[in-house]
Amino acid sequence: MSSGFHVRFSATTHVGRVRKLNEDSILAMPEQDVWVVSDGMGGHEGGEFASQCVVDAVAMLPPGLEPREKMQELRAAITRAHGVIRQEADRRGVTTIGATVVSLMLANGHFLCFWAGDSRLYRLRDGEIEVLTTDHSLVAEFVLSGQMTWDEADAHPQSNAITRAVGVGDELELDKIRGEVNPGDRFLLCSDGLNKYATTGMIRRILARDPIETVADALLQVALDGGGADNISIIVVDAI
């Protein structure tokens, strides 16, 4: 594979215990070493449309691209989804249809992540967990200024107030992080339906404990047991 590693993954998405519609969408493209989680918003099936639009756009990545080309095409695909969602919002006469996105691409011993919103990328390395992304949300500012932890932010009444999303605003601004992959690294992409109900410590313990075959379901169960009032999407990727 182009990642430079043997890669294994597990993935799941669930409507949760309260909502009737799953507005999350996930995409696993191991043949391309690309994975995506998108959390829709907008109600009346608008969120479902938006998140599906994001993953559908990424699913059209041409095969056989060199890493730099793939990175450019991944960004372009998400940007195209932004335009399509905005057009649909105009057609419906509404202002709020959008979706978060967090994407992971592996290539030549490195990882790349584009994201917008509060869906997250975590990395477990040598038993230690790190949140690689920074939420685009009102409460994230409190975390960055040292006033609260991510776990406290997740429990804050305004935790759902995001400041950036695909389909919202004139221009889409994607943040990017990249770095080296070490053998044994485990990545977690998730919508906030997981981290609302699972602390960083809980997530770390499960990522460190469970094999790839069961880890996504174990994380899902924690979110459901914690209340499951939101849709829950989880992708775990191992670089071996």
Average pLDDT on 8-16 reads 98
Distance CA 22, CA 39 (A): 9
State pLDDT tens for residues 135-194. Answer: 998 888 788 888 888 788 878 877 678 999 999 999 999 999 999 999 999 999 999 999
Q: How would residue 5 be classed by pLDDT, with cut points 50, 70 and 90?
A: confident
Average pLDDT on 10-24 reads 96
- Please state, rounded to an integer, the average pLDDT across all residues of the chain: 94
pTM above threshold 0.85:
yes
Contacts of 182 (CB under 8 A, 6+ apart): 125, 239
**Is the separation of the CB atoms in 37 and 119 below 8 Å?**
yes
Short-list 229, 207, 232, CA closest to 218: 207
- pLDDT at residue 44, rounded to an integer: 65
Mark residue 90 as left, alpha or beta (left: phi above 0; alpha: psi -120 to 50; beta: remaining): alpha
Record: fold of 7-239:
Phosphatase 2c; domain 1 (3.60.40)
Distance CA 170, CA 121 (A): 25
